[in-house]
Structure formats: structure tokens, C-alpha cells
Amino acid sequence: MIKKIVLWSCILCLIFGLYSCQATDILTGEETPDKEWDLIVESGSNTTVNLYVTEADEKMRAWLSSKYYNQLKTLYNIELNVKIMTQEDIISIVETELLNEVKDGVIDILILKDDEFRILYQKGLLYSDISDKVLNFDDRLNKLTLDIKSEHGFSLESYAVPFGREQMVLTFDEDELETFPVSTEELMSFAKDNPQTFTYPNPLLDEVGGEFVRTVIYEIVGAENMETLFEAEVAKETVEEIIMPGLTYLKELDQYLYKEEGAYLKSIDDVNYAFLNGDLYFSMSHDYSYITDAIKNEVYPDGARNFLFDQGTIMDTFYFAVPVNASNKTGAILAIHEMLSLDMQVDKYTPASWGNLPVLDTNLIGEADAEKFEKASLKRHSVRVEELATKRYHELPMDVILMINDLWEMHVNQ
């Protein structure tokens, strides 16, 4: 009998010892056990999470510090600190910490976009297997979609989790026009019939101008022919050969555009000013919800209304990542998990909150939940998520974007 008691005591000690090791691993961030969500919640709750973002507009910053903050506080008693810092400073902090063998870094979670993930990944600054540990990632996102599995075609390899999107929209004044062009062909016809009433900002100076140029190229060349541009180390000569039909179109369009002293407008703000003044019938934005505030703040005329080309427009994606030496990895995992919840995805989609597009696949979340996006409060002049989801192009690799800008300068902006 005594032997049995001793045996069971040893077994119980071993079990509790293993549990203790798992908890320690989670708290130190050395290894988060798979399929131990309850343990992750226990470890990440009642902690502080430091979220760093490289750039944030007023609405994004306000939403992160209010709605998102309150959700994490209510559900997990997580204290979220939102800080804005340049990518260079973030890299410097993490690299310095690693150089000095600091295991508990000051940054717990990062918001990345454009080429930022690739840069941090290639420097070895990110913690792996994040997406494998986020419960909502498994059930709500379509992992076969290009921007879910890669950033501009660069594989995420479970080092990052997408959580939001933005997509270029065009805008016209319905008080001035009854119809609007829904293709590059119709836009060319309109520009010929109504010269100097349409333009886009210089893509070398303004990212919205670049998004318009790439949207046109996608439609003219065909999305299937653009797939080659996602291959590693594609040569500039190859890029030029593939996109030349799009550049030829843009060169023809060039002669009908509104310019100042023969030059493209320098920024989208300049385009908006001409649009508000009635010099232009159109403007554009990479934020579908921008129109709500633009009308309210008299940046757009009252009759402004968003639209898309039938084949689509350029879309870009926001990602979460965790530094390799983050001190609170489980808190970061909980924060990412909650961002992918239905409540947060619907709320941030609403223009009054943030106006950031969801990443959830409506085919995976059920009809009742999908209807919540359809019922979200949007003004009549906004394009809804259902239309945006069916009319979008994936953003190209950053080096290809830079090549396209150079080729535009060479062939179009003479």
C-alpha cells in the first residue's frame, strides 16, 4: 500500500512539474505549447501589452486606444499601451536588446504594413509560430489567400498574422455626373470627351497615385499575367515587358489629364482640393471610409460618392508580429486573437470607429455572423465590404513597385 502511495505521489509530482514547466515556458516566451489555449489565456491575462505601430492616422490611433483597449481590458484585464515609432527606431531597439542579451524586450507586439514584415523577418527580429497559436486564426481566415499567407508575396511562414485591409476607391461627384467609368476603357473615353477633368497624383511622390497606376496596369495586363511579378528577384526588364501595355495606356491618358504647369499634382491633397473646387470630376483614396469625414470636413463636395472599377482596385494588408524577445508573448497572442474576433472586425470596419476592412472570410464564419458586416452602419456614398471583397488586386512586392514607378517616370512622365 505504501509503495502505491509513493508511486502515485511521484506521478502527481511529475504531472504538476510538467504543468509548471509549461507555465514557465509561456511566461518567459521560450516555447508556447501547442493546443494549450487555456494556459495561454491564464498566462496572458492580467498583464500589460506594449503595442508599437510605425504609422497611425488619428482614427486608427483613437480606435486602438479606445475600442480595442476596452475589449482587451474587459475580457482579459490586459492593459494595452499604444506607441507610435519609426521602423528604424523599432529595429534599433530590438537589435540593441538582442546584442545585450535582453530577454524581456520592451516591445510585445508590432503592427506592420508594406515591406516592414520582410525587413524585420530577414533581420531575425521576429518570433515564430505566432499564427499557429492564435485560436481565431485557424477558424476564421482563408489561409490560401495571397495576403493571408504572404506580405506582398513574401511568405509569412507563421511569423505574422493579418488583421485588416485597406483598398483604393475612386470618387466622383454625383451632383455633377450621372454615371461614372467602371473600367479603364470607359475612363479613357470619358477623359477624351472631358479633357482636364481627371487626374491622379505623381506616383513617385504619393502612394495613392502609385495605387492608381498599379490598378490600371493590373486591368490592362490581366491579373493572371501579373503573377510572374511575385517571383523572387524578377528582373526590371521582365517587369517592363509585362507591364508595357499598361504604361502605353497611361501614356495615352496622360495628354487628357489635369495638370499644373504641365506637371502632375504632387499629392492626393492637391487632387482633393481641385475636386472640391470643381476643377475635377474625380478624386481617389486608399481608404474606402475616408469619404465620410471628407464630406463632413468639406474636403469633398456634398455629392461625393465612392466607386470601383469592375475588375478591381489595389488592396493592401495590415499585419501583427511579435519581436523574438518580447517579454509578454502570451499577452500578445491574446491581443491578436481578440483582434480577429467578430466584434472587433465588425467594429473597426465601421467608418465611425476606424473604417478598416476585415480579413475574416465570410464563408468560414457563418451566415448570421457575415450579416453583421452587411448591417454595419455605412453612409450611402461608401462602397460596402461585399463589393470590395470581390473587386480587388493584391499589392505587388515592394521592389517591383519601385521598378514600376521608375518605368512610369521613363515612359509616361516625360
Q: pLDDT for 298-330, tens place per residue?
A: 999 999 999 999 999 999 999 999 999 999 999
- Mapped to the 3 state alphabet, what secondary structure does the chain carry? CHHHHHHHHHHHHHHHHHHHHHHHHHHHCCCCCCCCHHHHHHHHCCCEEEEEECCCCHHHHHHHHHHHHHHHHHHHCCEEEEEECCHHHHHHHHHHHHHCCCCCECCCEEEECCCHHHHHHHCCCECCCHHHHCHHHHHHCCCCCHHHHEECCEECCCCEEEEEEEECEEEEECCCCCCCCCCHHHHHHHHHHCCCCCCCCCCCCCHHHHHHHHHHHHHHHCHHHHHHHHCCCCCHHHHHHHHHHHHHHHHHHHCCCCCECCECCCCHHHHHHHHHHCCCCEEEECCCCHHHHHHHCCCCCCCEEEECCCCCEEEEEEEEECECCECCHHHHHHHHHHHCCHHHHHHHHCCCCCCCECCCCHHHHCHHHHHHHHCCCCCCCCCCHHHHHHCEEECCCHHHHHHHHHHHHHHCCC
pLDDT in tens, the chain (414 residues): 444 444 444 444 444 444 334 433 443 445 545 558 999 999 999 999 999 999 878 899 999 999 999 999 999 999 999 999 999 999 999 999 999 999 999 999 999 998 999 999 999 999 998 999 999 998 889 999 999 999 999 999 999 999 999 999 999 999 999 899 999 999 999 999 999 999 999 999 999 999 999 999 999 999 999 999 998 889 999 999 999 999 999 999 999 999 999 999 999 999 999 999 999 999 999 999 999 889 999 999 999 999 999 999 999 999 999 999 999 999 999 999 999 999 999 999 998 899 999 999 888 888 888 888 888 877 778 898 889 999 999 999 999 999 999 999 999 997
Q: In this predicted structure, what is the pLDDT of residue 370?
A: 83
| pLDDT for position 236 | 96
Task: Check residue 201 and give its pLDDT.
Answer: 98
- What is the value of pTM for the model shown? 0.90
Tens digits of residue pLDDT in 205-242: 999 999 999 999 999 999 999 999 998 889 999 999 99
Specify the pLDDT at position 398. Answer: 95
